[in-house]
Structure 1
Amino acid sequence: MTQAGKNELRLDRSVGLWPLVFYGSGTILGAGIFVVVGEVLAEAGRLTPVAYLLAALVAMTSALSFAEMGARIPTAGGPIDYLQRGFDKRWLGSAAGWVLMTANTVSAATIVTGFVAYFGSFAEIPGWLVTLSIVVVLGGVAIAGMKESAWLMTATTLVGIAALLAVLWALRDALVAGPYEVLAGLGMGAGTDVAAAGQNSDASASLWGSANLLFAGAFLAVYSFIGFGDMAQTAEEVRDVKRTLPLAMMISFGIVFVFYLLIATALVGSGQLTVIAEAPAPLVKAVELYGWPGMPIAIASLFVIINGALAQIVAASRLLLDIARDGRGAPGLFARINDVTDTPIPATTMITVVVLALALLVPLKSLAAMTSFAILTVFLGVNLSLIRLKRHSQPEDVPDIPFFVPVLGAILCGVTLLGQLAKLTVWGG
């Protein structure tokens, strides 16, 4: 292969299991517990842990499907190639690629917005300046190389995990009280919205209205788990990809699920949901309510939030690379890979610019809801693709996920999407 060919086609396989685990854990945590938890609390109230459980069920089935598909078809395009091979329809792969690339880009902007909110909790610097600075820095790191990005995220994820452990210690009494609050909410058949959080709910609240609150919270909470899908876009940069990628996905998912459930339970047990949900930095506010200094948590939180935004930029740029490389509607310029950094510099630059624009112009909740809807649509397609592929063959060198898993994943994704559409049309959003 000529050097020109390398510049347009090849990525460098430089990432092993544990760097990939921390890469995945960092992006999932950054996209979830530090950024969107306040929005989930606002929707689901005392049933927030249940919302995270429902979201985890939806996400886990799709994560297992991604694990097998990532080993079957280890390409940077991920779902682009999954849907095309599963249905033998090129246009489906192209549509999935554009939708997922858009979702990753919007997700990066979501996380940057969360970063700015946390930063503003201890430093009075104009939000637009913080946004501009962090997006430019993240774009530069993504350009520097996948190996460099993964190792940076390993270090910052460890800092973030330490911060979450500190939050759980500060809220240990609330963690014990949390399950009783959840059971109380379930017993009344109602969640509590922000206006009623921490107070006794009206026992006459309608079951449908309560289901609406819980469902809305679960829909937003799905966003908290989507980072495992971003790991699929690293497939061309992972060593021993058929073993490493599926295993790393499952380990990352397990780590973050435990933290989500514990943190959500502790926040509910605090009895201060209104204050926490409305705070720009929910976890910082939570520890301060219990008499602990918020500054260390705010600073540590920034590291994990950075992880999430960086991973989304990397994933979106790999998708744009694949879209351009395969002639799916993007200019050929975006297919170029630099022979020094082994990264798609034009694609990464373009994604970085769009992320900056979105982070400056669109509110956090709207960004998260847009991302969840787009991602769930792609997840539905990936599950259906795996069903079709498993009906025809089962390679021996890839994980053999039970057939019912992608079936259940497709059903759950479909029901969640239909439910959200019903919420928007019947309940008015």
Structure 2
Amino acid sequence: MSSPPPGLRRTLGVRDAVVIGLGSMIGAGVFAALGPAARAAGTGLLPALAVAAVVAYCNALSSARLAARYPQSGGTYVYGRERLGAFWGYLAGWAFVVGKTASCAAMALTVGVYAWPGQAHAVAVAAVVALTAVNYGGVRKSARLTRVIVAVVLAVLASVVVVCLTSGRAGAGRLDIGLSSGAGGVLQAAGLLFFAFAGYARIATLGEEVRDPARTIPRAIPVALGIALVVYACVAVAVLSALGADALGGSGAPLADAVRAAGVPALVPVVRVGAAVAALGSLLALILGVSRTTLAMARDGRLPPALAAVHPRFAVPHRAELAVGAVVAVAAATVDVRGAIGFSSFGVLVYYAVANASAWTLDPAPRARVVPVVGVLGCAVLAFALPVVSVVTGAAVLAVGALAYAVRWRSPAP
């Protein structure tokens, strides 16, 4: 009788899981999403942040409950499959892999734009290759590198907040909260900002590599989300006080522009380095999450079975990681950062809608179903409040995935 294929190794504790979640969220949100969100919301940026946080909180609670029940790689792909049926699991996995591949490319290009603007695409491809190699060496190495990245980024962000809030040029009047772009603008901005909160999914998708997942994952997800929310709120208030909503919405590098407006131009290079490092941290965790969902789908035959291989020495899904790295490297040569944020947000919101619907089936008690219901409704509203191009493109890509399922995989997975 042949021996079972090697599985992933449980090496991550609560601290490692929190750090991986933070590495995804902080890198994506602060440096990539604030500008587009401010352009959409105007003076409603802070309310939009609050709306995104509420939806993210519901999703986090639902994901934590499901991850404790199903401690496997794949996240909502597994939850949807087990609670709602094969198609819904597949749709969630497809939305995640496609949406987060766009996120990976956007983060890689963000590294290039900040590190070497004249050669942004070349730097982006090099970053993908380097981080794929790090992930290939094992998840513990990825966690250690992410810990360093998060420490550096938090130090840079703390400097930005202190400089902006203590500057004599900062104005409290720029923090006026209103609806200059209407409720639709606030919801659109919340959808864009949700892109920044989605990093805690990485904790769930690594469920097969977490020690004592029933205890670790429900603790790590809320902690990571809470820390990220505090960081986002502090940075948003600081940057708004320095630039105001209009200037923030028109800025390509809002944190760098904020410290310049605060009268400390010497800090601009430090902010640029911090942005590049943050994007590297986000990219590292994103590649981890996409490769693990790819592994889970390949195990079920929803993607090529060869991608289900686990390296006998490093205990990582090495073929899935190499495939994801190759696709992201190609995309990084052509992607537009701002467009990728909207497209990614649509896919991830669909992914979490399936997660909340799956959590709804766990407990029939009405009180236990309040959070999943709010989560599903919130995901739907934010998804369709995104820019029209993002909604149309995202819906078309999901339709392609659904058609592929109908043609090839209508029968149960092997």
Alignment equivalent of 1:65, drawn from 58, 62, 65: 62
Task: Assess, with a 3 A threshold, how the Cα gap between structure 1 residues 231 and 176 changes in structure 2: closer, same or farther.
Answer: farther
Alignment equivalent of 2:317, drawn from 344, 352, 362: 344
Matched, 1:160 2:126: no
- Which position in structure 1 is the counterpart of 2:297? 323
Matched, 1:94 2:108: no
How far 1:275 moved relative to its partner?
A: 4.5
Alignment equivalent of 1:412, drawn from 378, 398, 406: 378
Equivalent residue pairs, number: 390
Query: Structure 2 CA distance, aligned partners of 1:425 and 1:119?
Result: 31
* Residues 389-404 of structure 1 mapped to structure 2, 5 A cutoff: 389-391=362-364, 402-404=368-370
Query: Structure 2 CA distance, aligned partners of 1:306 and 1:109?
Result: 11
- Which position in structure 2 is the counterpart of 1:17? 14
Query: Structure 2 CA distance, aligned partners of 1:302 and 1:343?
Result: 26
Task: Assess, with a 3 A threshold, how the Cα gap between structure 1 residues 297 and 11 changes in structure 2: closer, same or farther.
Answer: same
Query: Structure 1 CA distance, aligned partners of 2:109 and 2:246?
Result: 21
Measured against aligned partners, the alpha-carbon deviations of 1:350-373 in whole angstroms (never above 9, x if no partner) come to 111111122221211111111111
Query: Structure 2 CA distance, aligned partners of 1:162 and 1:66?
Result: 29
How far 1:55 moved relative to its partner?
A: 0.8
* Residues 270-349 of structure 1 mapped to structure 2, 5 A cutoff: 270-292=242-264, 293=266, 294-328=268-302, 330-349=303-322
8 Å contact from structure 2 (residues 149, 277) kept in 1: yes
Query: Structure 1 CA distance, aligned partners of 2:169 and 2:353?
Result: 37
How far 1:91 moved relative to its partner?
A: 1.8
Query: Structure 2 CA distance, aligned partners of 1:278 and 1:157?
Result: 27
- Which position in structure 2 is the counterpart of 1:78? 75
SS in 1 for 2:363: helix
Give 1:45's aligned amino acid.
Answer: G
Give 1:327's aligned amino acid.
Answer: G
Alignment equivalent of 1:366, drawn from 339, 346, 371: 339
8 Å contact from structure 1 (residues 178, 266) kept in 2: no
How far 1:251 moved relative to its partner?
A: 0.6
8 Å contact from structure 1 (residues 174, 267) kept in 2: no
Alignment equivalent of 1:224, drawn from 176, 193, 196: 196
Give 2:382's aligned amino acid.
Answer: T
Query: Structure 1 CA distance, aligned partners of 2:369 and 2:88?
Result: 22
SS in 2 for 1:369: helix
8 Å contact from structure 1 (residues 27, 309) kept in 2: yes
Matched, 1:259 2:231: yes
- Which position in structure 2 is the counterpart of 1:202? none
8 Å contact from structure 2 (residues 21, 199) kept in 1: yes
Q: Give the alignment's TM-score, normalised by structure 2.
A: 0.88
Matched, 1:35 2:28: no
How far 1:422 moved relative to its partner?
A: 7.6
Matched, 1:115 2:79: no
Query: Structure 2 CA distance, aligned partners of 1:349 and 1:128?
Result: 19
SS in 2 for 1:342: coil
Query: Structure 2 CA distance, aligned partners of 1:424 and 1:109?
Result: 16
8 Å contact from structure 1 (residues 118, 280) kept in 2: no
Moved >3 Å (runs of 4+): 173-183, 271-280, 418-426
- Which position in structure 2 is the counterpart of 1:243? 215
* Residues 130-149 of structure 1 mapped to structure 2, 5 A cutoff: 130-149=123-142
Deviates more, 1:275-284 or 1:98-107: 275-284
How far 1:150 moved relative to its partner?
A: 0.7
SS in 2 for 1:390: coil
8 Å contact from structure 1 (residues 66, 232) kept in 2: yes
How far 1:300 moved relative to its partner?
A: 2.5
Segments of 5+ residues of structure 1 without an aligned counterpart are 192-209, 393-400
8 Å contact from structure 1 (residues 113, 359) kept in 2: yes
SS in 1 for 2:206: helix
RMSD: 2.4
SS in 2 for 1:137: helix
Query: Structure 1 CA distance, aligned partners of 2:383 and 2:167?
Result: 33
Query: Structure 2 CA distance, aligned partners of 1:235 and 1:29?
Result: 21
SS in 2 for 1:410: helix
8 Å contact from structure 2 (residues 346, 391) kept in 1: no
Query: Structure 1 CA distance, aligned partners of 2:168 and 2:68?
Result: 38
- Which position in structure 1 is the counterpart of 2:240? 268
Query: Structure 1 CA distance, aligned partners of 2:390 and 2:16?
Result: 40
Query: Structure 2 CA distance, aligned partners of 1:275 and 1:110?
Result: 23
Query: Structure 2 CA distance, aligned partners of 1:339 and 1:357?
Result: 28
Task: Assess, with a 3 A threshold, how the Cα gap between structure 1 residues 420 and 274 changes in structure 2: closer, same or farther.
Answer: closer
Query: Structure 1 CA distance, aligned partners of 2:251 and 2:151?
Result: 25
Segments of 5+ residues of structure 2 without an aligned counterpart are 393-414
8 Å contact from structure 1 (residues 174, 269) kept in 2: no
How far 1:390 moved relative to its partner?
A: 1.5
8 Å contact from structure 2 (residues 39, 248) kept in 1: no
SS in 1 for 2:364: helix
Deviates more, 1:106-115 or 1:363-372: 106-115
Identity fraction in percent? 29
- Which position in structure 2 is the counterpart of 1:398? none
8 Å contact from structure 2 (residues 76, 351) kept in 1: yes
Q: Give the alignment's TM-score, normalised by structure 1.
A: 0.85
Task: Assess, with a 3 A threshold, how the Cα gap between structure 1 residues 36 and 391 changes in structure 2: closer, same or farther.
Answer: same
Query: Structure 1 CA distance, aligned partners of 2:138 and 2:316?
Result: 6
How far 1:73 moved relative to its partner?
A: 0.9
Query: Structure 1 CA distance, aligned partners of 2:16 and 2:390?
Result: 40
Task: Assess, with a 3 A threshold, how the Cα gap between structure 1 residues 132 and 52 changes in structure 2: closer, same or farther.
Answer: same
Task: Assess, with a 3 A threshold, how the Cα gap between structure 1 residues 82 and 176 changes in structure 2: closer, same or farther.
Answer: farther
- Which position in structure 2 is the counterpart of 1:397? none
8 Å contact from structure 2 (residues 192, 386) kept in 1: no
- Which position in structure 2 is the counterpart of 1:48? 45
Task: Assess, with a 3 A threshold, how the Cα gap between structure 1 residues 79 and 169 changes in structure 2: closer, same or farther.
Answer: same
